[in-house]
Chain A
Amino acid sequence: MSQMEPVIGLEIHAQLKTATKLFCGCSTSSGRGPNPNICELCSGQPGALPRLNAKAVELAALAGLALGCQVNEVSIFARKSYFYPDLPGGFQTSQLDPPICQGGGLSLEDGAFIRLNRIHLEDDAGKCIHDSQRGQSLVDLNRAGMPLIEIVTEPDLRSSAQVVDFLKKLHAILVHLGVSNGRMEEGEFRCDVNISLRPQGTEKLGVRNEIKNLNSFRHVAQAIEYEIVRQQRLYDDGQSLVQQTRLFDPARQETRALRSKEEAHDYRYFPQPDLPPVLVSAELLARLKASMPKLPQELKAELLAQGLSEEQAAVLLERPQSLEYFQKAVAEFSEPKKVATLMLELFLPACQREGLKALDAKLKPSQLAKLASLMASDTLSRRAAYDLFPQLFAEGGDPEALAKASGKIQLSDAGAIESLAQTIIEAHPEEARKYREGQEKILSFFVGQLMRQSKGAANPKVAGEVLARLMKG
């Protein structure tokens, strides 16, 4: 029984963010029951001819540039034939050789570099629902013809943690560039995992199994963990592994065989005669390069350099529009760390509760910046800011005006606090005596009293100093 090492490669399908399908003018919208957007082409009617969506080509090339691929000036489509009712034409239009992008890769947190084999364009299939009661199947072709890129890695991954890190980074890049909306629950970003085991230190690849159609990071990790244990057990028992396609069942937390190699498809690829080659001109590549926004990795490095924590940077990069909101707020109040803290503690949770994108909130970046600056100058206590926040978030407006109107402007003026402190000390002679005798902890009791009597307006730090001075003096 030797120590085995997992060898993992991925095939990721990402839906491109276009208005129309890959080869016809049908809308890519969904959610209006079955078959709202189908036409002669995507429903596979004889004689209908495809025309390639130029935007899809641009998005695929953009993904290739961001991932360091070679973007081919000329690539071609091929027909991949198989029979299934979700594929009305009897073939999927995909790319075999050459694909639109080749090579490239992505670095992981642990320093590993995961090479890409290729990125190619292809159309999606429809969806079948199996109606076992009536003994029939129902077909929805709304997804048929949706524009996809398939991103294929080399077998460079060695653990579920690496796979999840890779997928999260890839997802962030595609969403950030506007290549894909990446809504995993809608199937817009899904992953097939190829996994085999081999004795540690050897080069030869073992028999692989493919787990199809995983559409959450959690399921990917669970499926890989299950598969490693399953394959290890077979090796330990001296059984040979059969090459299989498997499905992950989240309810049972296991993978199950879908088909074995003997039943494997013979796709009979050949060049799609109805489509001209895909051309990516030098001009288009230059334009895409010039318009390419900074990548998440670069943005993260900039945020860390501004003093933000890893977590703050990650959240700002992940939530919709929150980075843009942050940058606008920082332009008004240049304390990035303070702005980020306020956003993570109050603003973004509120956006999430209301289902709002950051820039759609009533509270504008300049107003949040003002709130952060009032807190930074001790004009507004942390507690007062929390009290005011729900109203500010719901209605927007000037935080200073609202704070004044509701009497929340903080008393930092030692003179004003002093008279209040004096009254409180006189009202609690017993506690004051204990403090003078050395029970310093009791100071927090006095600060609490003072905060209450000032209705939260006093600056607790100044209050503590004044109280201590008065009692000791």
Chain B
Amino acid sequence: MSIDIDLVKHIAELSRLDLGEGLNEAEARVAWEKMTSDLASIVGHMDIMAEAETDNVEPLYSLPTEPAGPREDIPSEVQSAEDILAQAPDRLDNYFVVPKIL
């Protein structure tokens, strides 16, 4: 798989990331190029796996089912809603508050 700067920018857009935030144009270009070459190197390393012989091998999607198999449909007794709300950077009553989105 080839990684180019357009693909990195697309992935960043999907993830709401801006590598150039707070940088001038030249610095930003360096940041994007560095990420592109880093990612290309990581993905290139992963490509070694593509050399493995996998004909007639069933895909393994996960490790054995225990201990994380299905659970009974019984409500948990632990109530953690207040703990979680307390961690929120901003809240209004029991709502989480986030920057305006549309």
Given contacts A34-B93, A39-B81, A54-B73, contact A49 B14 (CB under 8 A): no
Instruction: Check if A39 sits within 8 Å of B73, measured CB to CB.
Output: no
Question: Interface size (A, Cβ < 8 Å)?
Answer: 52
CB-contacts of A26-64 with B (<8 A): 26-27, 33-40, 43, 45, 49, 51-57
Given contacts A51-B71, A81-B14, contact A129 B62 (CB under 8 A): no
Q: Is A386 an interface residue (CB 8 A)?
A: no
Instruction: Check if A38 sits within 8 Å of B65, measured CB to CB.
Output: no
Distance of A37 Cα from B78 Cα, bound (Å): 10
Interface size class of B (residues with CB under 8 A): 35 or more
The stretch that binds B, out of A131-139, A201-209, A423-431, is A131-139
Instruction: Check if A266 sits within 8 Å of B80, measured CB to CB.
Output: no
Instruction: Check if B75 sits within 8 Å of A26, measured CB to CB.
Output: yes
Instruction: Check if A266 sits within 8 Å of B10, measured CB to CB.
Output: yes
Q: Closest approach, in angstroms, between the C-beta of A210 and any C-beta of chain B?
A: 19
Contacts of B102 in A (CB 8 A): 130
Main secondary structure of the interface of B (DSSP, over half): loop
Contacts of B16 in A (CB 8 A): 83
Q: Is A438 an interface residue (CB 8 A)?
A: no
Q: Closest approach, in angstroms, between the C-beta of A465 and any C-beta of chain B?
A: 64
Instruction: Check if B65 sits within 8 Å of A140, measured CB to CB.
Output: no
CB contact between A54 and one of B10, B72, B76, B95 (< 8 Å): that residue: B72
Contacts of A83 in B (CB 8 A): 14-16
Contact with B along A282-314 (1 / 0, CB 8 A): 000000000000000000000000000000000
Distance of A129 Cα from B76 Cα, bound (Å): 28
Contact with B along A274-288 (1 / 0, CB 8 A): 111101000000000
Q: Is A141 an interface residue (CB 8 A)?
A: yes
Distance of A268 Cα from B64 Cα, bound (Å): 25
Given contacts A136-B97, A137-B101, contact A40 B84 (CB under 8 A): yes
Residue of B nearest to A90 (CB): B15
> Which 8 pairs, one residue from A and one from B, show the smallest C-beta to C-beta distance?
A25-B76, A55-B73, A54-B70, A138-B95, A276-B65, A139-B96, A52-B70, A85-B98
Some 20 contacts from A to B, beta carbons below 8 A apart, are A19-B74, A20-B73, A25-B71, A25-B78, A26-B76, A34-B93, A34-B94, A45-B84, A53-B71, A54-B71, A83-B14, A83-B16, A130-B101, A137-B100, A138-B95, A138-B97, A138-B98, A274-B68, A276-B63, A276-B68
Residues of A within 8 A of B (CB): 18-20, 24-27, 33-40, 43, 45, 49, 51-57, 76, 81-85, 128-132, 135-141, 266, 268, 271, 273-277, 279
